[in-house]
Structure formats: C-alpha cells, structure tokens
C-alpha cells in the first residue's frame, strides 16, 4: 500500500520566499542546489528539502510545496529560462528603440550604425552609453535564447511517447470549451461595410489586406486601425501597430493625417512633418480654417489615442519568432489588447539564416503567426503586397499575393484592394471583374477574396482622398458583386 501511495503521489518541488534575508547569499546557496529564481522566489527540487529547511531555520526565508506540472524539474527550469530570456529581450528591444528615437539615430542595423566614427561619441552621452550597454545585453540574451532553444529540441527528442500523447486519452469538459472560447476575442470591427457585411477582423486568426505596390497598403491598414479605435463598443481597446517599413515618427504622421481627414495644404504629409520639425504652421494653408482644424484635431488625436496608450506604434526589426513572443507578452500583460497590426507581411523574416526558398520562409512565418493567433485569441491583421500578375482589379486573387507560401490556406480573412487612381499596369488599363474598362478616379475597390466565416465575392467601392489618406464608405451608392 505504501508503494502505491508513493507512485501516485503528486510530483512537486519547493518554492522559497524571501522575507528580508540577504538576497545574494540565498541566491548563491540555491544555485548550488540546482535551483533558480523566477522574479518572486526560488524553485528547488524536493530532494533538497533537508537543505532548504536548514536555510529557512537560519534566515528570514520560508518554503512551501509547489505542484510540478512539467515532466521533471529540469523541464520546469529549462522552460522558465526560455520564457524569461524572451520576455527580457523584448523589453530591452523596446528600450533600445526608445533610445534610438531620443538620439535621432537612422533606421537600419544598429551594429552597423554604431561603427560610424561620429556615432562612437555616443558613449560619452548618458543615453548613448545606456544604448550601448542595452545592445550588449540584448546580444547576450539572443545567445542564451538560441542555447535554450537547442536544449528544448534535445529534450523533446527524449520525451517518452506515452507521456507526450497522454492528453489524447482525457475527455473534454464543458468548462474547458467555455474557457477556450472566452480566451478568443470576438473580433474587432473596423468601421467599414463591404456589401451587406460590417468588416470584422476575427479573433484567434490572421487576416490579410493586400494591394499592389504603391497602392496604399499602409494607408488602408491605418484606416482600418482608426476605424477599430473609434467603433462603438470598442472604446476601451488598444491596438499595437508594428511597422517594418517606416519609422515610428513617419507612421505617426500618417495616422494623424488620416485622423484629421481633410486637406490642410497641397501636400498634407509634408506639411505635418514640417510642423513637427519646425514647430510652426508655415506650410499649412492660411486659407479657410485649416490651421485651427489641425491644432484641434492634433490635440484630440494625442489625447484620445496616444497618451492613454490606445494606439501604440513601433518601428520593428523583430524576427517573426520575437514578434510572436512580443504578442504573447502583450496578451499576458495588456488586459484591453484589441488587435495587432503588422505592416507588412513580405518584410517579415525568421530568426537566423534560413536555407530554404523565400516562399518556404514566408510559409513558416504564416504558420507561426497563425499558431500565435490561435493560442492568444488575438486578431492579427497584416498588410500584404500582390505580385506583378495583378495588373488590374479583375486580377485580384489570394494566389497572387507575393511569395504567397500558405497564406491562402492559413488566413481566415483576405481582402484585396485596387486604387482606382491607377489605370492599370497594361495597355488595356484597369478592368472590373466583368471586363468593363474603368478610367481613373479617386476611389478604392475592395473585394472579399476569402472569408472563412462570411464567404467571398462581395465587393465595395470606397471614396478615397490621397492627400488626406482618408477612406470613406460611399453614401447612397449600392455595393456590387464582382463590380
């Protein structure tokens, strides 16, 4: 009987909590016992209980039993290390980006930039010295992450098959299903209608909005983001916008321009940038009320979206694995996380050197993002670019997304668009799905190319002002199917 009880007894380890003892001294003792610190206390294997009790007797430390859910204590230690390194590297990466903004460093590989003789002077500036130290710490963490990933792969090879697949014998409960559904976002409305459908970016999935080169991928993604932030019932949600193409300041200017949504000058974007660069409105037209509108809307924009953390914009050089870790980190630490936007898909890469084709790499990128969306329940919306086979709006198809990989199969929702201010990339010009030739006009044609929940085929023509970057549903005009 005693043997049965021993076999069936739950696996556990010890958790030590400090009540004021010398941290460094305790930490050295615990390291000798193969234990580790998790930011709150120390984990130690149960076999060292006698040694732990001696520590507790002589210091302000107490311990308690902690259930060991993992296969072994080493699994717990290894998984904690990997998660700790990933989270810490994300935090440091964001701090590096902030310091780059403060120091006005150009975009690009930070190591290459710091080789510049002029920039070596940074080490004599407090922020510069801090940046250099953070970069060094970030590099060390990347090496540790790589090492922990290799350890994980080796550990997985050693897993007993019977334990690995034991979960398949467990029955599903109603509570588990309910919990899974609660974890998935109900989706985010973006404030636009296509035909009879209110466009909603589904939770727990990846969605794509794709257009040809120079047709305004970033601008449409910005319109969808602003629409989501202002949609009734979503006022408490926040959105994270990761740009792989332009700096945070450049994207912020585009957001502000679209938020204002009116013509401030002959070139809104340059006028807004000049305002932030020079601090005055000399490049905004003095006619009408444009300067007052700009000041009022700028104040609203920063108060309603930026200062309260509802809109968070970052220039990103994160690998896809790091981006996925960042999304998991945000899901864990941001209760009102509404949506992740990524601009744009073809700029995403895997960590390290990938030996396969670019199409295979993008396939892995899509699968990583899809798994992340399913795990976190967060809506993930990516801009994407069509290849050169799309010469007019009649050609819009998910199979023509550049370096498509498995995008067509992986994505839940795919929206294709064509800026009708472009006549088309052939002598025939722009043509509709029915073959009708179209002349240039200030509109955007958007079609649902794939909708796992809503079907495909419905389309809509939107008014679009290229100067302000504002997309609007047309009023009193009927939508069409394959217009």
Residue 4 banded pLDDT, cuts 50, 70, 90: very low
Q: Would the pLDDT of 339 be above 90?
A: yes
Residue of 299, 123, 310 whose CA lies nearest to 228: 310
| Beta-bridge mates of residue 413 | 207, 451
Whether residue 146 is preceded by a cis peptide bond, meaning omega within 30 degrees of 0, is: no
Q: Distance (Å, rounded) from C-alpha 419 to C-alpha 436?
A: 16
Taken in order 135, 141, 145, 150, the sign of the CA dihedral is: positive
Contact 14, 45 (CB under 8 A): yes
Q: Determine the pLDDT at residue 66.
A: 82
Class of residue 162 by CB neighbours under 10 A (exposed 0-12, middle 13-18, buried 19+) = exposed
Contact 217, 384 (CB under 8 A): yes
Q: Determine the pLDDT at residue 142.
A: 74
E-strand ranges in 379-477 read 380-385, 413-419, 430-431, 437-438, 443-451, 458-465, 470-473
Place of tokens 């976190």: 376
Q: Distance (Å, rounded) from C-alpha 27 to C-alpha 22?
A: 9
Contact 346, 403 (CB under 8 A): yes
Q: Would the pLDDT of 241 be above 90?
A: yes
E-strand ranges in 316-357 read 337-343
E-strand ranges in 256-389 read 311-315, 337-343, 380-385
Q: Would the pLDDT of 434 be above 90?
A: no
Residue of 424, 411, 422 whose CA lies nearest to 384: 411
Pairing of strands 206-211, 380-385: parallel
HSE-up of 72 (CA within 13 Å, CB side)? 9
For the chain, how big is the Rg over CA atoms in Å?
A: 27
Residue 5 banded pLDDT, cuts 50, 70, 90: very low
List alpha helices for 186-247, DSSP H.
217-230
Residue of 286, 284, 266 whose CA lies nearest to 275: 284
- Three-state DSSP state, 30: helix
Q: Determine the pLDDT at residue 369.
A: 92
Residue 253 banded pLDDT, cuts 50, 70, 90: very high
Selected residue with higher pLDDT from 404 and 467: 467
Q: Determine the pLDDT at residue 118.
A: 56
- Three-state DSSP state, 460: strand
Q: Distance (Å, rounded) from C-alpha 29 to C-alpha 51?
A: 9
Contact 461, 436 (CB under 8 A): no
Place of tokens 């466009």: 199
Of 226-230, 250-254, 282-286, 304-308, the least confident: 282-286
- Angle 310-248-343 from CA coordinates, rounded to 5°: 85
User: How far lies 277's CA from each of 103, 220, 280, 281, in Å?
Assistant: 15, 26, 8, 10
pLDDT per position as a tens digit, 375-430: 999 999 999 999 888 999 999 998 888 776 677 788 999 999 999 998 888 878 88
Place of tokens 């810490």: 88
- Angle 72-77-80 from CA coordinates, rounded to 5°: 125
Q: Distance (Å, rounded) from C-alpha 243 to C-alpha 344?
A: 7
Q: Would the pLDDT of 57 be above 60?
A: yes
pLDDT per position as a tens digit, 345-383: 889 988 877 667 788 888 888 889 999 999 999 999 999
């Amino acid at each position: 009987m005693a043997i049965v009880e021993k076999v069936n007894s739950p696996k556990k380890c010890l958790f030590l909590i400090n009540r004021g003892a010398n941290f460094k001294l305790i930490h050295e003792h615990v390291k000798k016992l193969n234990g580790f610190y998790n930011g709150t206390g120390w984990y130690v294997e149960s076999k060292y209980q006698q040694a732990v009790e001696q520590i507790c007797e002589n210091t302000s430390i107490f311990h308690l039993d902690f259930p060991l859910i993992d296969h072994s204590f080493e699994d717990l230690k290894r998984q904690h290390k990997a998660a700790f390194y990933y989270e810490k590297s994300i935090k440091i990466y964001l701090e590096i980006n902030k310091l780059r903004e403060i120091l006005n460093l150009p975009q690009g590989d930070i190591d290459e930039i710091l080789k510049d003789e002029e920039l070596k002077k940074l080490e004599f500036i407090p922020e510069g010295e801090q940046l250099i130290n953070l970069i060094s710490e970030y590099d060390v963490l990347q090496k540790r992450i790589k090492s922990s990933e290799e350890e994980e792969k080796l550990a997985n090879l050693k897993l007993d098959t019977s334990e690995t697949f034991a979960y398949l014998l467990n029955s599903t409960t109603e509570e588990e299903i309910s919990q899974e559904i609660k974890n998935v976002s109900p989706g985010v409305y973006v404030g636009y209608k296509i035909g009879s459908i209110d466009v909603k970016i589904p939770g727990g999935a990846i969605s794509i909005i794709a257009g040809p080169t120079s047709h305004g991928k970033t601008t449409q993604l910005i319109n969808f983001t602003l629409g989501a932030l202002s949609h009734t019932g979503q006022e408490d949600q926040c959105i994270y916008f990761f740009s792989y193409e332009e700096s945070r300041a450049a994207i912020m200017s585009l957001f502000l321009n679209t938020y204002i949504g009116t013509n401030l000058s002959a070139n809104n974007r340059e006028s807004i940038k000049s305002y932030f660069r020079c601090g005055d409105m000399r490049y905004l037209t003095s006619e009408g009320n444009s300067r007052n509108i700009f000041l009022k809307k700028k104040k609203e924009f920063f108060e309603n979206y930026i200062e309260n953390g509802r809109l968070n914009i970052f220039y990103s050089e994160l690998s896809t694995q790091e981006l996925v870790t960042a999304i998991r980190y945000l899901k864990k630490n941001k209760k009102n996380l509404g949506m992740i936007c990524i601009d744009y898909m073809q700029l995403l890469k895997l960590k390290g050197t990938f030996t396969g084709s670019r199409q295979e790499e993008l396939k892995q990128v899509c699968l990583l993002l899809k798994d992340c969306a399913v795990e976190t329940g967060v809506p993930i919306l990516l801009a994407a670019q069509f290849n050169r086979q799309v010469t007019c709006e009649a050609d819009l198809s998910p199979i023509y997304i550049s370096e498509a990989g498995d995008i067509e199969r992986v994505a839940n929702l795919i929206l294709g668009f064509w800026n009708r201010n472009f006549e088309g990339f052939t002598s025939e010009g722009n043509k509709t799905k029915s073959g009708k030739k179209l002349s240039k006009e200030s509109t955007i044609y958007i079609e649902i190319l794939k909708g796992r929940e809503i079907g495909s085929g419905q389309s809509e023509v939107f008014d679009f002002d290229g100067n302000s970057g504002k997309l609007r549903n047309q009023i009193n005009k009927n939508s069409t199917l394959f217009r």
